[in-house]
Amino acid sequence: MEKYLNKEFLLSNKEKILEALAFAEKAHDGQMRKSGEPYIIHPVATAVILIDMGMDTETIIAALLHDVVEDTEVELSEVSQKFGEDVAALVDGVTKLGLLPLASREVWRQHCQYQKNNNFFMFFAFFTKFIL
């Protein structure tokens, strides 16, 4: 993943992102995907896609951590304490995505395909809280 962090817009926050990666790896240690691969592959792949889209540091960190609250013993308060309230809000919003009806999720995916604003994941977190 480090090769993706050499983008100019991420260089000043590279250590924060690597800290989040280490945190996620530790939290997901021993978890495997149905394919037999380590679970951490999924959050890393998500983060790489968001890096390619030019997303901000908080969004990339949230991508790495987006399943730690739902799938591990990590509490949202710990995410907030270590990585800030904005990251925690994003993680919380993504965690609640599964609670939306399938039709709403599909509409949301279609909307996001056209969205270019770096803060659309923050909007999503607040959007999800508003709906719930």
Which residues are catalytic, by number? 70-71
- Copy the structure tokens of residue 125: 């977190």
| Spatial distance between the Cα atoms of 15 and 35, rounded to a whole number of angstroms | 30
Nearest to 95 by CA among 75, 111, 78, 110: 75
Classified as helix, coil or strand, 32 is strand
What is the distance, to the nearest Å, from the Cα of residue 40 to the centroid of all Cα atoms in its chain? 12
Pick the closest to residue 50 from 100, 94, 97, 104 (CA basis).
94
